[in-house]
Amino acid sequence: MNQANEILFIASLLVLVSIFAGSASSRFGVPFLLVFLGLGLLAGEGGPGGIVFRDYQLTYAVGSAALGIILFDGGLRTHFATVRLVAAPAFVLATIGVVGTAVLVGVAAHYALGLKPMESFLVGAIVGSTDAAAVFFLLNMKGLALQKRVSGTLEVESGINDPMAIFLTMMTVELLRHGQPPDTLKLAIEFVAQMVGGLVVGLIGGFLLVALFNRVSVAGGLYPIVAMAAALLIFSGAHFVQASGYVAVYVAGLVLGNRRHRGAQVILRFYDGLSWLSQIVMFLLLGLLMTPDEMTPYAVGSGVVAAVLMLLARPLAVMICLLPFRYTMREIGFISWVGLRGAVPIFLATIPVLANLPNSELYVTAAFVCVLASLTLQGWTIAPVARFFGLELPPKPEAVSRTDLDLGSTSDRDVASYKLEADAPALGYRFNEIPLPRRCRIITVIRDGTVMDRARLDHLEPGDYLLVLAPAEQFFSLDRLFTAREQSKKQRKRRERGEEVFGEFVLSGDTLLGEVALLYGLPVDDKDRNDPVGGYVRRRLRHRPVVGDRLRWGPVELVVREIRNDRITSVGIELEPEEHPILRGFRRAFGFD
């Protein structure tokens, strides 16, 4: 009894300390996940905490469940439109990209750590995939607004590439245990079966879960519990039919998050906290497992492996995989750098330990050093690198002033309450001229506790409370209308100088290219003069455009500002575009705009 209380006390204390330490460290830009990992190290056997923890079996079990929850949460927050936009390149990165990264890292491990070829490849397989937990977590924590194609590629890739890394790790471990050459065709069939099986199980599980929520009424507080139990059931059940539980749980979350059902808002709020808890528990356990004294003999070689992973293997794999999809060098550079490694590599490194393979401590050390380097260097520099590559968009409004009221599955619209913030765009309009999105309506305006007469209302005022009826997909537009938008330092400086974030001047997408060329003295072919500028930008980009896409046109740069119904309706023009000399060299070398 006393031992159980002691374990409960220590576990609770570690979680609380992690949360408050992470919040304090964020002021200095320190990645939260690095704080959780560091506290685990300090509390462990080699730190002042002195806690002896060597239970790899428990770490594997808890890590599996936590990763399943994190992937389900990632699916809940990913839109189908994003998946459609990046499905093909993300899948190539999640398969061919992981294999290519594993091979290149394996070569580095062979020379840096003195391992045999197959042992070296095992190191590459362990660290070959990006970590969904780290990518989802750090991109959201940094508050970055990135081009949809870039952020979507990173999120979808990290959500589906774990099966390939796990498959390669398991295959290599079995080969090292039994010494038999693998049947390549059989392995390929097994992998495809796992991926397809995971997709099928996830789709079936997701739609069944939606039907369950819409047909069976339970207490409001139980919807998140049902969702959590169902996610873990889908995750573990997929393994029973030899399918990938990681793909299944991500797809199930994707289906649930993109269908109307009861309890949607409470489930999202609950999973926000549960995902945090899963992150904390995973990284604390992994930190507790590490003992600095045991890692010292392999630290230098592991550092070389980490450097090759971040600076050579990941960038080369990304470039090979994404060039056929016409990604720009800016996008490739950023996606290469944000190949974040998190808990998954250390989690995979427990597999050789559980299999009693020689050099088990080396695998764990190599994985830990790669994760530490990734979180420290890459995780700490996401925002400045996004600005360096010119991929940062005006940040999305944080809808902290919005409270959602779920009307259930029978209604195609929901009600939300807004507290109108100072500097919100809606304040610049007369009440009856506010540009509400389609099928949106302001039901009530409450000022100083009094319901205002809408017929006599002239203007809204800061602090007003609004009840708005709208389709769920329109709430992002309403957030922009009723919420003051935060700006980065760079954006604020440009605003102060009178410059727009998307160019100094705005053009309608229907403006003829010849008129723009005549006005600004730009080169244009005769065959293009009568083309609308929006259509010209779309054609020249050679891929489906997203807001923030940039196209070089002589000495200026055209920037996509607005897209409606898959058509570019507004284009900014940057008369003096900023370009780093290194990027300019890449652009000229590879022929990209």
| Type and span of the H or E element at 430 | none
Nearest to 81 by CA among 136, 144, 148: 148
C-alpha 530/C-alpha 518 separation (Å) is 12
pLDDT digits (tens, 9 = 90+) for 84-98: 889 899 999 999 999
**C-alpha to C-alpha distance for 484 and 518, rounded to whole angstroms:** 38
pLDDT at 217: 79
pTM comes to: 0.73
- Residue 227 pLDDT exceeds 80: yes
Which single residue is written with the structure tokens 């996610």? 231
Q: Of 75, 72, 476, 71, whose CA–CA distance to 258 is shortest?
A: 75
What confidence score (pLDDT) does residue 264 get? Answer: 80
Contact in structure between 259 and 267 (CB atoms under 8 Å): no
Q: How far is CA 358 from CA 176, 299, 388, in A?
A: 9, 18, 44
Q: Does the domain made of 493-590 have the CATH classification 3.10.450.350? A: no
Q: pLDDT tens digits for 112-153?
A: 999 999 999 999 999 998 877 678 777 765 556 677 788 889
Task: Dihedral sign for Cα 475, 476, 481, 487, please.
Answer: positive
> In the prediction, which pLDDT does 60 show?
82
Nearest to 307 by CA among 366, 382, 380, 389: 366
CATH 3.30.70.1450 holds for 402-482: yes
pLDDT at 533: 86
Domain parsing of the chain, residue ranges: 2-388, 402-482, 493-590
Banded model confidence at residue 321, pLDDT cuts 50, 70, 90: very high
pLDDT tens, position by position, 43-75: 887 777 778 887 888 888 888 888 889 889 888
Give the per-residue pLDDT at 545. Answer: 83
Q: Is the C-alpha dihedral spanning 47, 50, 54, 56 positive or negative? A: negative
Which of 297, 326, 253, 380 is CA-nearest to residue 112? 297
Rounded mean pLDDT of 482-491? Answer: 56
CATH number, span 2-388: 1.20.1530.20
Instruction: Return the pLDDT at 411.
Output: 64
* pLDDT of amino acid 499: 43
Closest listed residue to residue 505, CA positions, set 439, 568, 576: 576
CB 406 within 8 Å of CB 266:
yes
What's the pLDDT band for 584 if we cut at 50, 70, 90? Answer: low
Is 402-482's fold the same as 493-590's?
no
